[in-house]
Structure 1
Amino acid sequence: MSIHITGMIWARPTSDLDAPSGPAFQPDFIERITLAHEVGGFDRVLAGYWTNAADGFLVLAQAAAAAKRIHFLLAHRPGFVSPTLAARKLATLDHLTRGRLALHVITGGEDIDQRKDGDHADHAARYRRTDEFLTVLRQTWTSDRPFDHQGEFYDIRQAWSDIRPFQPGGIPVFFGGASDSAVQVAAKHADVYAFFGEPLAETRAAVERVRAGVGGREIAFSWSNRPIIAATEKQAWEKAHHYRERAIAKLKAAGDAGLIPAGQAINSQRLVSLAQRADVHDERLWTALAGVLGGRGNSTALVGTPEQVARAMLRYRQIGISHYILRGWDPLPDVTQYGRELLPLLHELADAQDRGRVSVATAAE
């Protein structure tokens, strides 16, 4: 099973450790961080979706102008753009990138955040809308004649698109969520199911649950994490605790008490619950920052030397994970370090694992 590594890019320097700096859209920074991932051996970069940030379509267009090999993953929330228009926008971007695009569908787990863009649909309605959105999206890409669609959320007449995805098989769809509704939608539409960075036992159970829910259809799995690596394990843990101090200092400087309460999203609640149970799971999965950040986003970290972290990642591979979304805490320096120290070792150990020359079946190191 091959390994696919996705990083993350932004339109300006930002992290959970430092306040954003400079204009909200910085083309030079987009190019620098994208090229750092490309040089570092990442397969893709993800442009996320935030209700206060630059548009991901245009961030990736800027990134594609700079980087000619790396692939792209675009986060998109259904509900704000008609699925027929989204289909044309995505197909256009797929041509612009020469078939290097994948779509990460974010249904939205926080009512408060959705309302910032004028969406007042509840959780259940958002998943029904996502299902219908993706149905129309794919029909727009594949229909050989104008089509009508009348559903709960969209009433479309004689839809047709001259532009179709550059990729013959269409644009791959990543999907995530912890609810039963998420699994039901993924069963119909997802090529890759994305999990946050939970421990092995919880991740294995989630993989089995999704596999059962998709009814035998082939689907890949992604696992997100924010590794913290150093030359020695002691130095890695010191770095981790320093990151936690910086994150708390940033929150306090903004007027917060130093901790963000758990969000409404089930994934956020699960990560906070893990942090409340223990700071460390499976020897080196560190959840303390998930507790500080309210479980929002990708906020757990594998901590150790590059080899220790690589071996920990390969244990997830043994339970079905083939895609990893790795995001740095200090984005540019961390991406450079991952590319120099972690990714080559990860691929080397994976090749040895495939040949039966290395085992990562146990947690002992």
Structure 2
Amino acid sequence: MAETANDKINVFWFLPTHGDGRYLGTTKGGRAVDLPYLQQVALAADNLGYYGVLIPTGKSCEDSWLVAAALAPITRHLRYLVAVRPGLQPPSLAARMAATLDRLSEGRLLINVVTGGDPVENKGDGIFLGHSERYEVTDEFLQVYSRLLKGEKVDFHGKHLRVEGAEVLFPPVQEQGPPLFFGGSSPEAIDVAANQIDTYLTWGEPVEQVAEKIAVVRERATARGRELDYGIRLHVIVRETEEEAWAAADRLIAHLDEETIAAAQKIFARMDSTGQARMSALHKGSRESLRIGPNLWAGVGLVRGGAGTALVGNPQQVADRIREYQALGIKNFILSGYPHLEEAHRFAELVMPLLPLSQSSQRAERTINTGPFGETIGGDKRPQASAS
């Protein structure tokens, strides 16, 4: 049976603006994340046919808006998923920024709405609200922000926010404004998603847990007369054989000591993020229980906040696991791997040919002389395609 447009998925990559390297939790194998390196990753993702890239946000990262503005002009198709932070900026300013970047990128901007779950970082940014209040702010922010990007002039008087005569004079390229992505596992977050968001994101939990979460979100959205898209954030460790892939996973944390793990887990424990608590519960801060599902490994979460799980296996296994998440209704897959430049190529070459990509038409635009065929043999003929 031929696949329809609804059967296609979007595969994103990740721009590591908070650091990159061959090993986690150590300076060994680390590399400078400067503009030339980020340009390499963005150009690779664009040329390899990824749908877009996620740019992280927070005090540990370079500013996502400036990074996107620097990289959009050198790429052709790549979309940029960039964070807005309710509570850190007024909605009218954020809407003007979004409209400008959408115009400069010719309609390639996507918005990641981030409420923030670290009380210590929030206080450093001047936010002293509790968990529930932050989601109240997020809901009010989006009521104003979305209307502005749709061309409306807005008066709004809420519990936390108030604007009079707010408007965006120069509209975005995308007629209804850039699509809104958002993740959150608490009841308050799910209510925001059901009310306001276009694509609900989850971190890479086992399939059964993701299914339960999506069912709740879908039910809440349906009750409000809305239908959402869904996405998932995962790392990937793919090699030609399963044995090589698991060996690569072990190498990734080979220089990670127990003191570093304990320090990271202490930071995660202070957060009031339900999603972070769910991630931490998958491994409980121990190396002893990292394989948490078929081809699903929680080792990244020992020291990395947020998305802490990776799909590990040979190309067909990784593609099969992606298909399982797709069967739940997930359309957007936001992936990453260490180091991000090399792994962008590896995933594109080994796994993307096995997936029903919405962006495959971009790859098909290549002519025969620029298509992937390997090095010419003896300067005289091209190698023949071999069966996998």
> What is the aligned partner in structure 1 of residue 20 from structure 2?
14
Shift, 1:143, TM fit: 4.6
> What is the aligned partner in structure 2 of residue 169 from structure 1?
176
Match status 1:282 vs 2:288:
no
Number of equivalent positions: 340
CA distance in 1, matches of 2:356, 2:13: 16
Shift, 1:327, TM fit: 1.1
Residues 142-153 of structure 1: pairs in structure 2 closer than 5 A: 142-144=150-152, 146-153=153-160
3-state secondary structure, aligned to 1:92: helix
Match status 1:273 vs 2:274:
no
Matching residue within 26, 33, 46 for 2:54: 46
- 225-234 or 192-201, which moves further after superposition? 225-234
Question: How has the CA–CA distance of structure 1 residues 53 and 281 changed in structure 2, closer, same or farther, with 3 Å as cutoff?
Answer: closer
**Letter paired with 2:174:** Q
> What is the aligned partner in structure 2 of residue 326 from structure 1?
335
Match status 1:95 vs 2:106:
no
CA distance in 2, matches of 1:76, 1:161: 16
Shift, 1:224, TM fit: 1.2
3-state secondary structure, aligned to 1:298: coil
Match status 1:260 vs 2:269:
no
Shift, 1:162, TM fit: 0.6
CA distance in 2, matches of 1:175, 1:12: 20
Question: How has the CA–CA distance of structure 1 residues 180 and 258 changed in structure 2, closer, same or farther, with 3 Å as cutoff?
Answer: closer
3-state secondary structure, aligned to 1:206: helix
Match status 1:72 vs 2:80:
yes
- 274-283 or 203-212, which moves further after superposition? 274-283
Match status 1:156 vs 2:163:
yes
CA distance in 2, matches of 1:319, 1:2: 13
Question: How has the CA–CA distance of structure 1 residues 274 and 301 changed in structure 2, closer, same or farther, with 3 Å as cutoff?
Answer: same
C-alpha contact (below 8 Å) 2:154/2:165 kept by paired residues = yes
CA distance in 2, matches of 1:337, 1:268: 28
Residues 106-154 of structure 1: CA deviation (Å, up to 9, x unaligned): 111121121221211111111000001111101222354x432222222
The structure with the larger Rg is 2
Runs of 5+ consecutive residues of structure 2 not aligned to the other structure: 1-6, 361-388
Residues 1-365 of structure 1: pairs in structure 2 closer than 5 A: 1-11=7-17, 13-15=19-21, 16-19=24-27, 21-22=31-32, 26-144=34-152, 146-215=153-222, 216-246=225-255, 248-249=256-257, 257=262, 260-261=265-266, 262-263=268-269, 264=271, 265-276=273-284, 278-290=289-301, 292-293=302-303, 296-347=305-356
3-state secondary structure, aligned to 2:201: strand
CA distance in 2, matches of 1:143, 1:308: 46
CA distance in 2, matches of 1:107, 1:123: 9
> What is the aligned partner in structure 2 of residue 354 from structure 1?
none
- Quote the RMSD (CA, aligned, Å): 2.1
Q: TM-score, normalised by structure 2?
A: 0.82
C-alpha contact (below 8 Å) 1:104/1:175 kept by paired residues = yes
CA distance in 1, matches of 2:263, 2:90: 39
Residues 67-123 of structure 1: CA deviation (Å, up to 9, x unaligned): 111111002221111100100000100001111111010111121121221211111
**Letter paired with 2:303:** L
CA distance in 2, matches of 1:140, 1:29: 35
Residues 18-38 of structure 1: CA deviation (Å, up to 9, x unaligned): 54654x7x3222211101111
**Letter paired with 2:194:** A
C-alpha contact (below 8 Å) 2:261/2:303 kept by paired residues = no
Question: How has the CA–CA distance of structure 1 residues 235 and 34 changed in structure 2, closer, same or farther, with 3 Å as cutoff?
Answer: same
Residues 151-204 of structure 1: CA deviation (Å, up to 9, x unaligned): 222222222221122101321000110000011111111110000000011010
Question: How has the CA–CA distance of structure 1 residues 221 and 147 changed in structure 2, closer, same or farther, with 3 Å as cutoff?
Answer: closer
Runs of 5+ consecutive residues of structure 1 not aligned to the other structure: 352-365
3-state secondary structure, aligned to 1:347: coil
Higher relative contact order (CA 8 A, sep 6+): 2
Question: How has the CA–CA distance of structure 1 residues 318 and 103 changed in structure 2, closer, same or farther, with 3 Å as cutoff?
Answer: same
3-state secondary structure, aligned to 1:103: strand
Residues 33-74 of structure 1: CA deviation (Å, up to 9, x unaligned): 101111222100011102143211110011101111111100
C-alpha contact (below 8 Å) 2:113/2:181 kept by paired residues = yes
C-alpha contact (below 8 Å) 1:10/1:59 kept by paired residues = no
Q: Percent identity?
A: 30
3-state secondary structure, aligned to 2:132: helix
